[in-house]
């Protein structure tokens, strides 16, 4: 147990209480016995986490660290999360803010199949963001969704994903709907002489997920949209390791982990780092100024973690969205640079000229922000 990993937490004060919590986390996440339990010296030295801190954070809170033997993570994502934030996640006010993992542990995780550079090669797009939209609304016919996708691609869009609310109770309807949209994407790709990426929403009964993914890839499509907080983080990791597909991670249900800024998981840790650990090539998150209460600083932090060095794992694409419009384009260009996906749904679809006109307008905004 020579290699170590470090988990960083933010906890309530005062300082002596923060120090007690750090020690409590070190015991709870390893030996799970009272602090005065008569442990053998070798267990205390080789198994129990080593707390450090506290360091003042903000508003009466403190940052503490716990150093764990990396072997306790068992080499898996589930065991890692259980080690660093299993029972401790139940204590009010405890927030996991960072993980420092050894390369040996990271090497056991494949990470994104494509990442930033791979997706650029796949789409043949250089030196600008990717333009994406969400096919919606729920209740539209398959023909209407296919027509919207085709129009978006005609306007210069790169990636059309199902809205996360587009779900199919039966495999038969999934096949019919996805097949119809895939045909439209293939026609536009052939017409334009460039790849038009359509990502269906991979949802449904857990026992059907692999079969549905096989069907998608059998159509010649290159990937899927998935909601990791619903499907399961380790299940997405498994699917991404087994299939060399593009995985776009949507944050549905994940707010339960980070909406309280004083408890749970730090936002960029979940949507940036963990997204890459499970194999997300693209991580979707609510952009500042949209329908959700994310700050610009939080969004930049997500993008930073999505693309920062992380062992040998490929960088992932940050995909800010959620109420974006043409007025948001300059800020998106400034905050996220060229290696980002502009995810624009309703406002693009309802643009003058429909999805085609909306795609052209956003591509023009990109051209202004990132001149060739």
- Write the CA distances from 88 to 16, 73, 253, 268, integer angstroms: 18, 15, 21, 19
What is the enclosing helix (H) or strand (E) of 352?
Answer: none
* pLDDT given at position 74: 87
CA atoms of 182 and 220, how far apart (whole Å)? 8
Please name the residue ranges forming H helices in the chain: 15-28, 41-46, 77-85, 103-106, 115-123, 142-154, 171-192, 209-218, 228-231, 233-242, 255-258, 267-268, 275-277, 296-307, 329-336, 346-349, 354-369
Q: Is the pTM of this model over 0.75?
A: yes
Tell me the sheet residues that pair with 201. Answer: 225
* pLDDT given at position 76: 87
CA atoms of 234 and 278, how far apart (whole Å)? 7
Q: How many Å from the N-terminal Cα to the C-terminal Cα in the chain? A: 52
CA atoms of 213 and 113, how far apart (whole Å)? 15
CA-angle at 194, arms to 191 and 197, nearest 5° = 105
CA atoms of 73 and 49, how far apart (whole Å)? 12
What is the enclosing helix (H) or strand (E) of 277?
Answer: helix 275-277
Cα 275 to the chain's mean position, in Å? 4
The first and second tokens of residue 341, run together, are 């996906």
For residue range 31-86, list pLDDT tens digits in order. Answer: 999 999 999 999 999 999 999 999 999 889 999 999 999 999 987 899 999 999 99
Delineate the domains of the chain, giving CATH numbers in brackets. 4-106 (3.30.70.150), 115-369 (3.20.20.110)
* pLDDT given at position 291: 87
* Ranges under pLDDT 50 in the chain: none
- Write the CA distances from 338 to 196, 332, 369, integer angstroms: 19, 9, 9
For residue range 130-172, list pLDDT tens digits in order. Answer: 999 999 999 999 999 999 999 999 999 999 999 999 999 899 9
């Amino acid at each position: 147990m020579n290699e170590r990993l470090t988990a960083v937490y933010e906890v309530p004060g005062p300082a002596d209480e923060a120090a007690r919590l750090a020690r409590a986390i070190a015991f709870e996440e390893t030996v799970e016995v009272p602090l005065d339990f008569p442990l053998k010296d070798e267990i205390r030295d080789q198994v129990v986490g080593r707390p450090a801190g506290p360091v003042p954070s903000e508003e009466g809170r403190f940052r503490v660290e716990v150093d764990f033997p990396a072997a306790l993570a068992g080499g898996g994502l589930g065991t890692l999360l259980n080690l660093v934030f299993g029972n401790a996640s139940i204590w009010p006010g405890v927030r996991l803010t960072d993980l420092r993992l050894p390369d040996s542990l990271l090497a056991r995780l494949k990470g994104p199949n494509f990442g930033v550079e791979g997706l650029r090669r796949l789409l043949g797009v250089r030196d600008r963001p990717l333009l994406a939209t969400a096919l919606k609304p729920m209740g539209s016919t398959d023909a209407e969704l296919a027509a919207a996708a085709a129009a978006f691609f005609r306007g210069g869009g790169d990636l059309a994903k199902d809205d996360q609310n587009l779900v199919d109770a039966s495999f038969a309807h999934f096949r019919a709907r996805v097949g119809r949209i895939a045909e439209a994407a293939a026609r536009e790709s052939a017409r334009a002489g460039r790849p038009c990426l359509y990502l269906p929403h991979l949802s449904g009964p857990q026992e059907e997920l692999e079969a549905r993914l096989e069907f998608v890839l059998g159509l010649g499509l290159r990937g899927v949209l998935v909601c990791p907080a619903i499907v399961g983080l380790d299940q997405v990791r498994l699917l991404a390791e087994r299939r060399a597909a593009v995985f776009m991670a949507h944050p549905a249900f994940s707010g339960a982990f980070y909406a309280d800024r004083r408890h749970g998981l730090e936002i960029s840790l979940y949507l940036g780092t963990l997204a890459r650990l499970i194999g997300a090539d693209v991580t979707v998150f609510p952009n500042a100024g949209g329908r959700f209460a994310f700050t610009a600083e939080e969004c930049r932090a997500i993008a930073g973690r999505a693309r920062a060095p992380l062992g040998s794992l490929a960088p992932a694409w940050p995909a800010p969205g959620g109420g974006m419009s043409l007025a948001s384009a300059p800020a998106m260009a400034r905050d996220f640079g060229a290696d980002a996906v502009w995810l624009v749904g309703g406002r693009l679809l309802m643009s003058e000229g429909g999805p085609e006109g909306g795609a052209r307008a956003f591509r023009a905004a990109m051209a202004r922000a990132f001149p060739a």
